[in-house]
């Protein structure tokens, strides 16, 4: 058996694949990228695009793809898949589903301008036009879920799961203008049983502030048993962060054993300011079943980072603190 050895380069090689130009190609990609088939990368920009009916001079947001070069030394190609037609401003990258469809959320999308979930269907032949479908418009009514900031995850039977910044009517949510916006929560969207039907939205859990969680900034993950795990940037111990309502938590939602029953919510870990705090990203499930993630702050204070420069954490589920 032949073995090929490679010398380690002193520094990694970095290549700029695309520079956004403040035009129709997109402006301000707030989130990261999603990998698709054949090396294609998908993403979204908060502004830009050239959606019909958009009256914002810098665009209402766009979904784009980056196609690998056909041969070594050639440039990557950036194509705008869809430009939103009204003030949608997607903050999260889309998720790739069955058949190459893309699913995503828009912070101000929908007919009520408080968020929406969209589907983009690829063209039947190369070079054709993608088809956008508005799967769900969030309601502007008091207590209803609003303003999805994070991406979606696809679960069993094509159910979509996500988080919203605001939901519920808890009076203990200090960052909102009034209690009518709530502390956020986790929702699901179930596809229709027959073609042409409506997707069904369900609020799985609404956060209620400390000692519970509040304000999820990242999307959830779904385990093989259907349990949902995630983080919130605030919540937990009320005295752990003097200037915030808690330092954030890692939570778990367990599906009900029977249809129609409520999901069970558990706080697996409450972050503390003297360790690590403010998780703005979600968690991933390791091969050992434990959870891994990062926090915005934490670690030893330095001159550069008075609150610490951040940390990487692991939650060992069989040793989780309640």
pLDDT digits 0-9 by tens, 178-196:
445 788 999 999 999 888 8
pLDDT of residue 13: 63
Q: Which two tokens stand for residue 203?
A: 């609020």
Q: Calculate the average pLDDT of the chain.
A: 87
* Number of Cβ atoms within 10 Å of the Cβ of 139: 16
Which positions of the chain have pLDDT values less than 50? 1-7, 176-179, 320-322
pLDDT of residue 319: 61
pLDDT of residue 253: 97
Between CA 108 and CA 265 the distance in angstroms is: 28
The β-bridge relationship of strands 276-277 and 249-254 is unpaired
pLDDT of residue 174: 65
pLDDT of residue 172: 74
φ/ψ of 156, rounded to 5, equals -65, 140
Contact 190/205 with Cβ under 8 angstroms? no
pLDDT of residue 102: 97
Residue with tokens 């999307």: 219
φ/ψ of 65, rounded to 5, equals -130, 150
pLDDT of residue 300: 75
pLDDT of residue 6: 42
pLDDT, tens digit (0-9, with 9 covering 90-100), for 305-315? 877 888 899 99
């Amino acid at each position: 058996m032949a073995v090929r050895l490679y010398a380690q380069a002193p520094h990694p090689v970095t290549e700029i694949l695309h520079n956004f130009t403040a035009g129709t190609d997109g402006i301000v990609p707030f989130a990261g990228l999603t990998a698709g088939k054949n090396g294609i990368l998908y993403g979204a920009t908060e502004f830009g695009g050239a959606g019909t009916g958009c009256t914002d001079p810098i665009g209402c947001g766009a979904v784009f793809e980056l196609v690998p070069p056909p041969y070594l030394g050639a440039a990557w190609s950036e194509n705008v898949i869809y430009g939103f037609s009204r003030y949608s401003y997607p903050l999260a990258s889309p998720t790739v589903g069955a058949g190459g469809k893309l699913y995503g959320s828009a912070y101000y999308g929908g007919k009520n301008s408080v968020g929406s979930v969209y589907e983009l269907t690829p063209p039947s032949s190369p070079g054709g036009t993608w088809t956008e479908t508005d799967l769900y418009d969030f309601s502007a009514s008091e207590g209803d879920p609003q303003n999805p900031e994070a991406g979606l995850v696809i679960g069993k039977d094509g159910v979509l799961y996500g988080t919203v910044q605001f939901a519920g009517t808890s009076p203990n949510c200090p960052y909102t203008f009034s209690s009518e916006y709530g502390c956020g929560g986790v929702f699901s969207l179930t596809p229709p049983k027959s073609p042409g039907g409506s997707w069904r939205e369900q609020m799985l859990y609404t956060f209620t502030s400390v000692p519970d969680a509040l304000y999820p900034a990242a999307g959830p993950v779904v385990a093989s048993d259907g349990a949902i795990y995630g983080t919130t940037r605030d919540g937990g111990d009320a005295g752990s962060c003097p200037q915030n309502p808690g330092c954030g938590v890692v939570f778990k939602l367990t599906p009900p054993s029977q249809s129609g029953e409520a999901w069970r919510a558990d706080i697996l870990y409450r972050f503390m300011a003297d360790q690590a705090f403010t998780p703005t990203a979600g968690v991933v499930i390791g091969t050992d079943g434990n959870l891994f993630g990062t926090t915005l702050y934490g670690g030893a204070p330095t001159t550069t980072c008075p609150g610490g420069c951040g940390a990487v954490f692991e939650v060992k589920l069989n040793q989780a603190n309640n």
